[in-house]
Amino acid sequence: MFRTVENLLRAKSIAIIGASDSSRGGWAQEIYNNLEHCGFPAKLYLVNPKRQEVWGRKVYPNFAAIGEPVDLALTVIPSVGIPDTLAEAAEHGLKCALIYAAQFGEGGDVAGRSRADALLKLSDKYGLRISGPNCMGAVALREKLLLYPAKRVRSLMAGPVGVVFQSGGTFQFWLQQAALRGLDFSYAISSGNELDLDLADYINFLVEDEHTRIIACLVEGVRRPAAFMAAAEKALAAGKPIALVKVGRSERGKAATASHTGAIASDDAVFDAVCRKYGILRCPSLDDLMETCLALNQGRLPNGPRIAMVCYSGGAKGLVLDYASDEGAEMAPLTAETREKLPAMIDPGLPGENPLDVGPAVGVQAAKFAEICKVVCADPTVDLVTVQALVPTEAADPYNPAPLRDVFVSTDKPVLAFGRIAQNTTEVSRKYQTESGVPFIHGLPETVRALQNLVRYAASQRRGAMALPEPRGDISHLEGAAFERLLASHHLTLPRSATAATPEQAAAEAERIGFPIALKIVSPDASHKTEVGGVALGLRDAAAVRAAADAMSERLRTHDRQARIDGFLVQEMVDGVEVILGVRQDPQFGPFMLVGLGGVLVEAMRDVAIRLLPVGEDTAREMIQSLRGAALLGPFRGRPGRDVDALIRAMTGLSGLFADHRPWLSDLEVNPVMVLGKGEGVRAVDVRMVRRAREA
């Protein structure tokens, strides 16, 4: 499933194709200078048929002249010459090629696609691994491999963060700023168009690398979803968090992604479900990606979700409470003992509550402020802490990391420092942060999101990723009552119902079931019954049933003269909260479940939650709680609460049914599921099943 990245990032011999002493220098010379600067210990060959010597080194006309296999070729030549050059190199044992050039099929370029196909044939024939094309190279700090065409990477230091960006231009600036903020790197890869080696391969490599603890990604598209999920699951099991920014959340963003890399953009809601399942931390911006990595870099995870904040600004306190509400963050209540102790330690008149504002007078007394922070850290209701602090930027600034360091060593809980807004950062700032042991997060919303990412990752570690069971049982033959019994066995009970061929039979069945009833037309040409007027509710006598059946038949035939009407479904009316519940097969990431409030209004309300299968009880409950309208399922305006436990059983039942029989189903939707009063269960009012097309 995973291709080896060893010969790219741990190469023992390298050839630079396109080495030239032209006055322009170029990328080849930049890369060569970087390798020379860091004392790259491997064998280095220069390849150019038009030169005999460059930069004081012998130049080889081709790979045959080198006389031994080479681990890695850096192809710094125009795209048109790359396929033939690499064909000769592969014949003589080349193991991996890094291609910087573009024009290999991105944006629908036909000639480029032909070049890409030629490279793929080389890969298949010789096992040649390819990084890129259309990328900015890679760096491997411990191996002294700076395969990047700019001096700025020379300042990077070896550390625990592995980076994979599918955007080369963004890559360099993020690395530079992240390094200044305090992050150090094991490996950093600009993966480009991923013609061969891809995101899944690089993540797998970083998971297996003993020096990498955190993985940061900028993702435009996932080319091998199954491999990506396998790598993400492996990372979760290894306790190595993946934080990423996903490009292409909007339709225009997807189009730009396809044009840039040729990648297929996934449905963003489904991709988000993938991230939730495997503990991947989605960040809304590159700044948030940096802050989350800094928070993770401390190496501590909380035992629960409850956040405490200590500050010396009332405005900061109010803003944090707003951002916490936006993010669904839980603030620690603090024990009565802590709340009684704090007022004597802070400015007079301020409440000893969380978030805690100590006041400006105490805020400037570093030692006293640190003691207050220790008290809050020690509170048993607190799982993680953030404290307001100023980081020095100039050599002349006050510099004493000891008080903050004392807070850090007083507890095993995560401790983050925050500034209200972004500020300039220098080497002085980085040194102060390192000596205190506490990462400084820039900005209040970023601080809350970084804390929440720690909470989410810790929860995913405790939960793990539920495996999708192997399918079983062919249900392609099930119809009617047999299928209804299957639904009922999975906690999806249908209302009492009957089918009728004519309006008169529908009226008779309604009298047998009991009024009021719902009437629905049965037709293969009316999959969305409400859109063609094929549903009538609250019918209270036989005459009303006959009239409704006649009217909906006429409406359907007006809509489609060729429509086939198979009859009518007569159902008992049930009173409850309408919920949509569906499972289907995503073409990239597999089966997922959707739950939402609104029934027929779901498209207008868009209040839905999506998760990958399987969905267990905890996930089902979390999905329901995440809905904006979740309060409608509880006691509401004098009406008793709904049977949420029965809805959860229906969700887990539908998850199991679809997982077991997914080879024969492509879509199974229940809309609406009526959630009745507490203890009364649910009713699957309208079930729509789409079978998988049989292969010829």
Residue 56 region by backbone torsions, left for phi larger than 0, else alpha for psi between -120 and 50, else beta: left
Distance separating the N- and C-terminal Cα atoms of the chain: 28
Least-confidence region, from 418-422, 450-454, 487-491: 418-422
DSSP string across 249-290? -SHHHHHHHHHHH-PPPPPHHHHHHHHHHHT-EE-SSHHHHH
Per-residue pLDDT band at 259 (split at 50, 70, 90): very low
pLDDT tens, position by position, 503-517: 999 999 999 999 999
Q: What does the pLDDT read at residue 696?
A: 40
Q: Output the DSSP codes for 376-427.
A: HHH-TT-SEEEEE-----STTS----HHHHHHHHT-SS-EEEEESS-----H
Whole-angstrom Cα distance, residue 207 to residue 87? 32
Q: What does the pLDDT look like over 329-360, one tens digit per residue? A: 999 999 999 999 999 999 999 999 999 999 99
Across-strand partners of 567? 522
Residues 683-695: tens digit of each pLDDT:
998 888 888 876 4
Instruction: Judge contact between 214 and 326, C-beta under 8 A.
Output: no
Q: Report pLDDT for 251.
A: 57
- The rounded mean pLDDT for the chain is 92
Give the strand pairing for 590-597 and 577-586: antiparallel
Here the tokens at position 548 are 């409704």
Q: What average pLDDT does the segment 148-172 reach? A: 93
Instruction: Please tell me whether residue 595 adopts helix, strand or coil conformation.
Output: strand
pLDDT of residue 483: 87
Please give the pLDDT value at position 686: 86
The rounded distance, in Å, linking the Cα atoms of 544 and 548 is 6
Give the tens place of pLDDT for each residue, 1-11.
999 999 999 99
Residue 249 pLDDT class (50, 70, 90 cuts): low
Q: Please state, in angstroms and rounded to a whole number, the distance separating the CA atoms of residues 183 and 181.
A: 6
CATH of 496-572, one of 3.40.50.10420, 3.30.1490.20, 2.30.30.100, 3.10.20.30: 3.30.1490.20
Q: What are phi and psi of 309, to 5 degrees?
A: -135, 135
How does pLDDT run across 382-392, given as a tens digit for each residue? 999 999 998 89
pLDDT for residue 257: 42
The CA distance from 49 to 58, in Å, is 12
Cα separation, 118 vs 649, whole angstroms: 53
C-beta of residue 295 within 8 angstroms of C-beta of residue 451 = yes
Q: Quote the pLDDT of residue 636.
A: 80
301-463 has which CATH code? 3.40.50.261
Residues 583 and 654: beta-carbon distance below 8 Å: yes
**DSSP characters for 26-49?**
-HHHHHHHHHHHTT--SEEEEE-T
Residue 210: Cβ within 10 Å count: 6
* CA angle at 663 for the pair 660 and 669, rounded to the nearest 5°: 70
Confidence tier at 165 by pLDDT (50, 70, 90): very high
pLDDT one-digit tens code per residue, 9-58: 999 999 999 998 875 558 999 999 999 998 988 899 999 999 999 999 99
C-alpha to C-alpha distances, 486 to 284, 493, 582, 644, 654, nearest whole angstrom: 42, 10, 16, 21, 10
Spatial neighbors of 1 by CB under 8 A, at least 6 apart, are: 200, 226, 227, 230
- The pLDDT, as a whole number, for residue 25 is 58
Convert the pLDDT of each residue in 570-596 to its tens digit. Answer: 999 888 999 999 999 998 999 999 999
Mean pLDDT of 605-612: 89
Residues of the chain with CATH 3.30.470.20: 577-691
Mean pLDDT of 519-537: 84
Count how many residues are written for the chain: 696
pLDDT for residue 252: 56
Q: What is the pTM of this model?
A: 0.89
In the prediction, which pLDDT does 265 show?
Answer: 39
pLDDT tens-digit series, residues 264-310: 435 899 999 999 999 999 999 999 999 999 999 999 999 999 999 99
Q: How many C-beta atoms surround the C-beta of residue 9 within 10 A?
A: 26
- Could you tell me where the DSSP H helices lie in 48-132? 63-66, 82-91, 110-126
One-letter amino acid at 80 equals V
Backbone angles phi, psi at 422, to 5 degrees: -65, 145
> Which string of DSSP letters, residue by residue, matches 171-206?
HHHHHHHHHHHT--EEEEEE-TT-SSS-HHHHHHHH
Q: Which CATH superfamily is domain 577-691 in?
A: ATP-grasp fold, B domain (3.30.470.20)
Assess whether pLDDT exceeds 90 at residue 449: yes
- Between 222-226, 401-405, 471-475, 493-497, the lowest mean confidence (pLDDT) is in 471-475
What confidence tier does 558 reach under pLDDT thresholds 50, 70, 90? confident
State residue 600's pLDDT score.
67
φ, ψ for residue 414, nearest 5 deg: -60, 135
Q: Which residues make up the CATH 3.40.50.261 domain(s) of the chain?
A: 6-294, 301-463
State how far the Cα of 491 lies from the Cα of 98, in Å rounded to an integer. Answer: 54
CA distance 509 to 496: 11
Q: What is the mean pLDDT of residues 63-92?
A: 97
Which residues lie across from 14 on neighbouring strands?
A: 44, 72
Query: Are 320 and 447 in contact, with CB atoms under 8 Å apart?
Result: yes
- Domain 6-294 fold: Rossmann fold (3.40.50)
pLDDT class of 262 with cuts at 50, 70, 90: very low
Q: What pLDDT is recorded for position 260?
A: 36
Contacts 24+ apart (CB under 8 A), 274-277: 274/225, 274/228, 274/229, 274/232, 274/589, 274/612, 275/244, 276/611, 276/612, 277/465, 277/466, 277/611, 277/612
